[in-house]
């Protein structure tokens, strides 16, 4: 048999796709579902890495389906009458499609969970046996120590995991219809209380308040000005850094406070406010700085 030219190979491949689409109801359903998922992702403005994962999952299912179709045809050709081995071949090929479909449902959940109402996301996550907010690490007892307050060296244990958990939880309440960028912050004060804050946007975009300042406002309103540690969590490529305005606000009260920055992937980084904001602006009369 003569080797196919490149052009012929492409022609045969496209013919195969056309044939599969015409004869296979499943593939038509998959194609429609894929289009719907991608349209939804575009409408929700899902970031590029999420869309790439969706495309990969869709490709996985389509490829499995095409192989399944090809295998069914080959089995029918070689074994027109019933044969147990033919049944095994077809069933296993169908199982491959099912596996690909299950994987793509899990990928879809992970990509879209932040856009679902929290209760729905948790229910779907439980159904998929995925922990909605699972962060790798597992060192729940790690603590930051040696925090300086009022010029005296103090040893205060900080349960970083607990603080991050509070920040992750409050992040779900963020009001972010414009940016879809949810941030949660949890501020631990010297008295041991934790003040949580989420970001909230406004149609007048400049009126937007960051999570860090929302948490700071809650603490100040409760008379808690001595801050020990801050955790900030967002869905960000790296541990999310506070913006410049928030750094300035934090520096007014706690320039030596450690800020634990984290993302949903579990990456984290700790810096003091002073490290985040060298050359801080201050006026005489302020508390510190
Ligand atoms: Zn900010």
Integer Cα distance of 240 and 183 in angstroms: 9
Q: Has residue 149 got a pLDDT over 50? A: no
Residue 136 lies in a domain: no
Distance from residue 157's CA to the centre of ligand 1 (Å): 26
Whether pLDDT at 16 is above 80: yes
Question: Per the domain annotation, does 1 fall within a domain?
Answer: no
Total of domains in the chain? 2
220 CA → ligand 1 middle, Å: 17
133 found inside a domain: no
Residue 260 lies in a domain: yes
Tell how far the Cα of 265 is from the centroid of ligand 1, in angstroms: 21
Which tens digit of pLDDT belongs to each residue from 156-197? 567 899 999 999 999 999 999 999 999 999 999 998 899 999
Answer yes or no: 212 catalytic.
yes
The rounded Å distance from CA 247 to ligand 1 centre is 7
Q: Are residues 72 and 147 in the same domain?
A: no
**Mean pLDDT within 95-114:** 91
pLDDT tens column, 45-74: 888 999 999 999 999 999 999 999 999 989
Say if residue 147 is in the same domain as residue 242.
yes
β pairing state of 227-234 and 258-263: parallel
* Positive or negative torsion for Cα 172, 176, 180, 181: negative
Domain membership of residue 288 (yes or no) is no
- Which residues place a Cβ less than 5 A from the ion ligand 1? 210, 243, 246
Angle at which helices 160-171 and 211-221 cross, to 10°: 110
- Enclosing domain of residue 81: 6-127
Q: Are residues 123 and 10 in the same domain?
A: yes
Q: What does the mean pLDDT of the chain come to?
A: 85
Same domain (yes/no): 20, 96: yes
- Are 230 and 201 within one domain? yes
Mean local confidence (pLDDT), 234-238: 95
Catalytic residue among 24, 212, 226, 275: 212
Query: 125 CA to middle of ligand 1, Å?
Result: 30
Structure tokens that stand for 228 in this block: 């020990």
DSSP letter assigned to residue 5: P
């Amino acid at each position: 048999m003569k080797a196919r030219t490149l052009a012929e190979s492409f022609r045969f491949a496209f013919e195969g796709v056309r044939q599969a689409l015409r004869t296979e109801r499943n593939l038509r359903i998959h194609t429609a579902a894929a289009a719907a998922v991608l349209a939804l992702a575009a409408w929700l403005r899902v970031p590029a890495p999420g869309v790439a994962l969706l495309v990969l999952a869709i490709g996985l299912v389509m490829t499995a389906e095409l192989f399944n179709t090809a295998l069914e045809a080959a089995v029918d050709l070689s074994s027109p009458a019933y044969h147990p081995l033919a049944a095994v071949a077809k069933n296993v090929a169908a199982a491959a499609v099912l596996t690909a479909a299950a994987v793509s449902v899990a990928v879809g959940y992970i990509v879209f969970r932040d856009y679902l109402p929290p209760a729905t996301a948790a229910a779907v996550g439980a159904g998929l046996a995925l922990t909605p907010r699972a962060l790798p690490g597992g060192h729940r007892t790690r603590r930051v120590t040696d925090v300086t307050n009022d010029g005296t060296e103090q040893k205060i244990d900080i349960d970083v995991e607990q603080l991050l958990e509070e920040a992750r939880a409050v992040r779900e309440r963020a009001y972010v219809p414009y940016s879809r960028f949810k941030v949660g912050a949890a501020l631990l004060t010297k008295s041991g209380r934790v003040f949580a804050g989420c970001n909230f946007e406004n149609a007048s975009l400049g009126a937007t308040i960051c999570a860090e300042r929302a948490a700071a406002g809650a603490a100040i309103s409760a008379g808690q000005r001595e801050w020990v540690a801050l955790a900030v969590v967002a869905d960000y490529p790296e541990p999310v850094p506070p913006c410049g305005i928030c750094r300035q606000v934090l520096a007014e009260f706690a320039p030596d406070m450690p800020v634990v920055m984290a993302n949903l992937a579990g990456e984290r980084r700790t810096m003091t406010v002073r490290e985040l904001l060298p050359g801080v602006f201050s006026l005489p009369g302020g508390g510190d700085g």
